[in-house]
Amino acid sequence: MSKLKKYVEESKSTKNSELEIIDRGISNLLDAPGLFELAHLTRLTLSHNKLSSIPAAITNLYNLETFNCFNNHIKELPQTISQMVKLKILNLGMNKLNMLPRGFGAFPVLEVLDVTYNNLSENSLPANFFHLDSLRALYLGDNDFETFPPEIGKLKNLQILVLRENDLISIPKEIGELVRLRELHIQGNRLTVLPPEIGNLDLVGSRQVFRGENNPWVTPIADQYQVGVSHVFDYIRSETYKFLYGRHLAADAPPPPKTADKSKKISRLG
């Protein structure tokens, strides 16, 4: 009996709602088709394995609320995955995704999406991605975004947005419409300015997080950042900054060059 079949048989007999198969060298979920008969599961963890794909049969686990496939070799997802009507947490971090499937934004109750450490860019998101209006936390760090769609402003329930360690040369002003946002991580990009609309957000305080270090900020923002985050926000809310921001856009300066590929990503995806 394979390792996977053993876990499946145990789950069938115990009816435990949680199944964890971590770091067991699992490469193909179809090796144990009985896995997709475990409709009692609400939590499935398959992290640190060798999976390259997720079978469409995953939708048979219709009671699943948490699905964790962190650190595998997944290159594609089934188009039907968004039919998992009870799924609230989906962790696909540290995989090899270049694209999210068509219709991905149809998850009805998804609250947390983690696709950190993949190969995603602004061209990887399906047209309905920003229909995920139940989303509270979106982790897109360590990918390949140079720009980000203005439709981000539709995710009105978003509280955490992580865009760190990409290649962003700008962020859309519509992020300023995310009035529930309490954490914004944009460190390690190619950003020189911030849209003044970011000043609409409440990101200063002991319970809020704003991370913007390791960007080639224009000198006034860099100086304020050295003093503290609250000073950055005071500055970008000022009429002086709005004037300078308009001049910056009008100048249409070329974006700063890309930095060398991060060694951690090379080792991860190489």
Q: Within a domain: residue 225? A: no
Q: What φ, ψ does residue 221 adopt, rounded to 5°?
A: -70, -45
Give me the count of residues in the chain. Answer: 270
Q: Within a domain: residue 223? A: no
pLDDT mean values, one per 10 residues, the chain (270 residues): 84 95 94 93 98 96 98 97 97 98 97 98 97 97 97 98 98 97 98 97 96 96 96 97 91 76 46
Provide CB contacts within 8 A for 150, sequence distance 6+. Answer: 172, 173, 174
Q: Within a domain: residue 148? A: yes
Q: Within a domain: residue 238? A: no
Check residue 257 and give its pLDDT.
82
Q: Within a domain: residue 232? A: no
Q: Name the token pair of 268.
A: 């991860």
Residue 173 structural domain: 3-218+255-269
Check residue 256 and give its pLDDT.
82
Check residue 261 and give its pLDDT.
56
Check residue 3 and give its pLDDT.
79
Provide CB contacts within 8 A for 77, sequence distance 6+. Answer: 53, 54, 92, 97, 100, 101, 104
Q: Within a domain: residue 140? A: yes
Identify the CATH number of the domain in which residue 92 sits: 3.80.10.10
Q: Within a domain: residue 247? A: no
Check residue 182 and give its pLDDT.
98
Q: Within a domain: residue 61? A: yes
Q: Work out how many domains the chain is built from and give that number.
A: 1
Provide CB contacts within 8 A for 6, sequence distance 6+. Answer: none
